[in-house]
Copies of this chain bind each other. A is one copy, B any other.
């Protein structure tokens, strides 16, 4: 989504170009664009290179279409999500000689935070997960003094995410006191890394996708309206031009994984709906 973010003016092109490898390697976005011949001269900008509309075809990345045996999702929006970095600071200590009463175990407290945060998400009808967690110093016989983890919170509305953030802070404040384990208090910080508000796509585009899907499938029973759980380029384009998306089913809802799979037939249906959506929208333009 970096490129569409630059195009939409949400991400400075220099910041995009400076993005480095996640594992600290020397390559940057800019050096890789140059390497593959994509560092062109056309400005990546919605002002100098505008679009009349944006339609995006994507696998659902979730299990709903497959479970309901439908072929097309008419995407009318994207759920809100926010990313956070949480740092928990306790105290390193020898595992064999330090009684629980003298410990400020950053990992034990972080584990309790992850469990409590999950339970809050269930209670608030939100999604929450931690995909990145690191600890220091990383020795089997040293109680971790520092744990850093990321939180990914998603919900249908910005209000639910607001409530999740508030509930989590209250809960983490309590857990940092460490009364549950009878140990020493810890400190933590929670920094917002990224905010993606809930998105409502353009009604004309949604209608173009709906009509095209019905035409291609021959029935409304094989399609449904839905909200995207993931972020997409369409999140950024929708801020600058009418936008909607077409979803096709994927096996077991798996994505971002070598097992990701959508049948050629379903890909073809998606491509046909995408094409007709563009043509239909274009015909209806004033």
A141 with B95, Cβ < 8 A, contacts A108-B118, A114-B108, A127-B100 known: no
In the complex, the answer to whether B127 meets A131 with C-beta atoms within 8 Å is no
Whether a CB of chain B sits under 8 angstroms from the CB of A170 is no
Give the contacts of A172-197 with B (CB-CB under 8 A). Answer: 181-182
Q: Of A6-14, A249-257, A273-281, which stretch is located at the interface? A: A249-257
Is B107's CB under 8 angstroms from A114's CB?
yes
Q: How far apart sit A61 and B95, CA to CA, in the bound complex (Å)?
A: 10
Q: How far is the CA of A96 from the CA of B196 in the complex (A)?
A: 12
A50 at the B interface (CB under 8 A): no
For the complex, is A242 an interface residue (Cβ under 8 Å from B)? no
Nearest-CB residue, chain B, relative to A23: B138
Q: Is the CB of B127 within 8 A of A230?
A: no
Interface residues of A in 100-143 (CB under 8 A from B): 100, 102-103, 105, 107-108, 110-112, 114-115, 118, 121-122, 127, 129-133, 135, 137-143
Contacts of A91 in B (CB 8 A): 254
Which residues from 224 to 281 on chain A have a C-beta closer than 8 Å to any C-beta of chain B? 228-231, 253-257
| Chain B residue at minimum C-beta to C-beta distance from A138 | B132
User: Complex: how many Å from CA A81 to CA B141?
Assistant: 10
> Is there a chain B Cβ closer than 8 Å to A210's Cβ?
no
Distance from A114 Cβ to chain B, minimum over Cβ atoms (Å): 4
Q: How far is the CA of A110 from the CA of B122 in the complex (A)?
A: 18
CB distance from A107 to the nearest CB of B (A): 6
| Cα of A182 to Cα of B119 in the assembled complex, Å | 11
* A223 nearest CB across to chain B (Å): 18
Interface residues of A (CB under 8 A from B): 60-63, 79, 81, 83, 91-100, 102-103, 105, 107-108, 110-112, 114-115, 118, 121-122, 127, 129-133, 135, 137-145, 150, 152, 154, 181-182, 228-231, 253-257
Nearest 3 pairs of A and B residues by beta carbon:
A62-B97, A97-B229, A96-B229
